[in-house]
């Protein structure tokens, strides 16, 4: 009856939904929440959660959590230190091939809670908030949970373990660049901002999806097939160059004016004012553009000025004139007036890291077919990033949908209605199973030699099923590979699944190899010779999970399991 999507972002999160009857009429008719940010209305809320001192109960989320925590902190009785305050914690999952499901994370005051518990609290809050809002639209009975399909988005560049961690915290996962593609293909041309010409996502179109979020930049290449489905042409790549890099550059800029000890004291003692600084910059940075040379005025809290003068004995206005910003930054009353080049420089690391990465990708022959770059995600709304991409890649069209920050979320809703929208993905890793083969003195490491019933064997061989960069048809099993017990006495075969960043790993112990999980196949008929107890193994890459199928050759008995990447 309804598809609901949750976009759990590094900096901002939100939800969206659409009813089946509305999707059938207009797939782009999607409901989202407008969050009250005080001075303005936001399409998403900060990924910030406040948990009560009992370490179990969620008190508030988003702007409400920020406001309440900084209220507590302003009372100067240290009560806030007994509460748990987490923000921007999703990045703990970025880049981790090995991940423990029981890992803890620290809050702002270094108190720890299980990460999965914190993630689950946020997802549950967003779920319940969506349920309440969708039911408010129904005039009769409320929608039941079994009438809802839930979709949770994750970055395509995440590891299998990170995706599983989120899946165990929630329900179903969609890859963010794919949902962006799916939604943008439904939009009429007038809802695109582009660098000239007409927008086309017709069959045969090849385009790059640049998903610029708060934490990461996520890049993939998609081709539209004749049946309208999407085929990924290049494995997802990217890095931690999202909008938070600009926030950090701004923080370092302020530190360069007042010094780290002063700024740290201000941040600890005056959390509410620190929050105001962050929120004001969030608004200001959206209007910073390459062609805007106006000074930017930002309110400087009086407490920051007082702490500086207390610590240094100097007047802050005079001290600023002795920094490298003497002719660029001016303190007038309670306002810092900053010349445009300084504000623009805060975007340099994030934009140039992204441009450099895309340029490196463009050297691959597959990118010669790319005719346009589709920019989505909240950071894609930045004029500075848009200019950096357009000026660096003038030979392709750059397409930015209106409200680019909601495209992934809206696309996740469409994906939930039609999960078969994507037919192929490109493998990020080489996947295989540890095997033992007859020992060859010419090529095998003597340290890997073991003895089986048939003589000397080489252990820890990486038996490859899929290699990095290979196009994989979703939900289609790989060719079967045979496995037999190494001794007559074994009544089961253990299959240990590995992933590798290398294309041709020889051993599962090589650099870049990581154990993903273990599958044990019990052999029903133990009264036949060892070689007749063969098990045929295949892998299926469906959605965001890896399924291993083991079929006993003699009797057809089959074992299927999802690879457990969290141990």
Q: Render pLDDT for 291-345 as a digit per residue (tens, 0 to 9).
A: 999 999 999 999 999 999 999 999 999 999 999 999 999 999 889 999 999 999 9
Question: Hey, what's the torsion of the CAs at 135, 164, 427, 448, to 10 degrees?
Answer: -170
Which of 516, 505, 506, 520 is CA-nearest to residue 561? Answer: 520
Reference 175, options 154, 149, 151, 160; nearest CA is 154
CB 226 within 8 A of CB 203: yes
What is the token pair recorded at 381? 């709304």
Give the least confident one: 383-387, 446-450, 557-561.
Answer: 557-561
Alpha helices in 96-159 (DSSP H): 115-136
Q: Per-residue pLDDT tens for 99-127?
A: 778 889 999 889 999 988 999 999 999 99
**Backbone φ, ψ for residue 230 (5° rounding):** -100, 140
Residue 401: CA atoms inside 13 Å, Cβ hemisphere, count? Answer: 26
CA distance to 62, 104, 116, 171, 390, per residue, from 89 (Å): 13, 11, 11, 20, 31
Annotation: CATH topology of 427-562: Substrate Binding Domain Of DNAk; Chain A, domain 1 (2.60.34)
Residue 538 has pLDDT above 90, yes or no: yes
What are the boundaries of each domain within the chain? 2-242+350-425, 243-345, 427-562
Pairing relationship of beta strands 148-154 and 2-8 according to DSSP bridges: parallel
Q: For residue 193, what pLDDT is reported? A: 55
| Nearest CA-CA partner of 325 in 253, 245, 247, 262 | 253
**What is the C-alpha to C-alpha distance for residues 512 and 431, in angstroms, rounded to an integer?**
12
Mean pLDDT, residues 408-436 taken together: 90
| Overall average pLDDT of the 192-199 stretch | 49
pLDDT tens figures, 42-79: 889 999 999 999 999 999 999 999 999 988 887 767 88
pLDDT score for 196 = 43
pLDDT of residue 93: 80
């Amino acid at each position: 009856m309804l598809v609901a999507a949750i976009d759990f972002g590094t900096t901002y999160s939100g939800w969206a939904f659409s009813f089946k009857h509305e999707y059938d009429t207009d797939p782009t008719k999607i409901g989202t929440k407008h969050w009250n940010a005080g001075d303005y209305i936001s399409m998403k809320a900060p990924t910030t959660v406040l948990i009560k001192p009992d370490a179990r109960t969620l008190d508030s989320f988003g702007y409400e959590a920020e406001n309440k925590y900084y209220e507590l902190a302003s009372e100067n009785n240290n009560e806030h230190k007994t509460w748990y305050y987490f923000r921007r914690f999703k990045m703990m999952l970025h880049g981790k091939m090995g991940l423990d499901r029981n890992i803890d994370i620290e809050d702002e005051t270094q108190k720890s809670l299980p990460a999965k518990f914190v993630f689950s609290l946020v997802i549950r809050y967003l779920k319940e908030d969506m349920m309440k809002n969708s039911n408010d639209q129904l005039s009769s009975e409320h929608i039941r949970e079994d009438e809802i399909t839930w979709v949770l988005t994750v970055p395509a560049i995440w590891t299998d373990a990170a995706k599983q961690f989120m899946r165990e915290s929630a329900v179903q996962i969609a890859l963010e660049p794919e949902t962006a593609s799916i939604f943008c293909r439904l939009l009429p041309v007038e809802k695109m901002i582009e660098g000239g010409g007409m927008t086309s996502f017709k069959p045969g179109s090849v385009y790059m999806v640049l998903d610029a979020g708060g934490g990461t930049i996520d890049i993939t290449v998609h081709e539209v097939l004749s049946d309208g489905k999407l085929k990924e042409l290049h494995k997802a790549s990217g890095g931690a160059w999202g909008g938070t890099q600009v926030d950090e550059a701004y923080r370092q800029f302020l530190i360069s004016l007042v010094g780290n000890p002063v700024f740290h004291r201000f941040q600890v003692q005056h959390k509410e004012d620190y929050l105001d600084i962050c929120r004001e910059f969030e608004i200001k940075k959206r209007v910073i553009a390459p062609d805007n040379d106006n000074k930017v005025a930002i309110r400087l809290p009086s407490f920051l000025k007082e702490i500086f003068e207390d610590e240094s004995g100097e007047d802050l206005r005079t001290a600023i004139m002795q920094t490298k910003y003497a002719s660029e930054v001016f303190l007038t009353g309670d306002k810092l007036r900053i010349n445009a080049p300084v504000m623009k420089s805060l975007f340099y690391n994030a934009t140039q890291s992204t441009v450099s990465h895309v340029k490196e990708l463009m050297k691959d022959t597959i990118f010669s077919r790319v005719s346009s770059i589709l920019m989505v995600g909240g950071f894609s709304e930045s004029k500075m990033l848009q200019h950096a991409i357009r000026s660096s890649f003038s030979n392709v069209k750059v397409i930015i949908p209106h409200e680019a920050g909601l495209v992934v979320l809206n696309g996740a809703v469409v994906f939930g209605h039609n999960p078969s929208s994507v037919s192929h993905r490109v493998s990020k890793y080489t996947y295989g199973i540890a095997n033992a083969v007859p020992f060859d003195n010419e090529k095998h490491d003597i340290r890997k030699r073991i003895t089986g019933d048939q003589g000397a064997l080489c252990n820890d061989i990486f038996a490859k099923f899929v290699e990095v960069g290979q196009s994989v048809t979703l939900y289609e099993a790989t060719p079967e590979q045979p496995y037999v017990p190494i001794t007559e006495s074994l009544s089961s075969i253990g299959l240990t699944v590995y992933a590798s960043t290398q294309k041709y790993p020889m051993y599962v112990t090589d650099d870049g190899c990581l154990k993903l999980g273990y599958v044990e196949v019990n052999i029903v008929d133990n009264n036949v010779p060892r070689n007749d107890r063969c098990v045929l193994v295949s892998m299926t890459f469906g959605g965001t999970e890896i399924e291993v199928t083991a079929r006993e050759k003699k009797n057809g008995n089959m074992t299927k399991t999802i690879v457990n990447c969290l141990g």
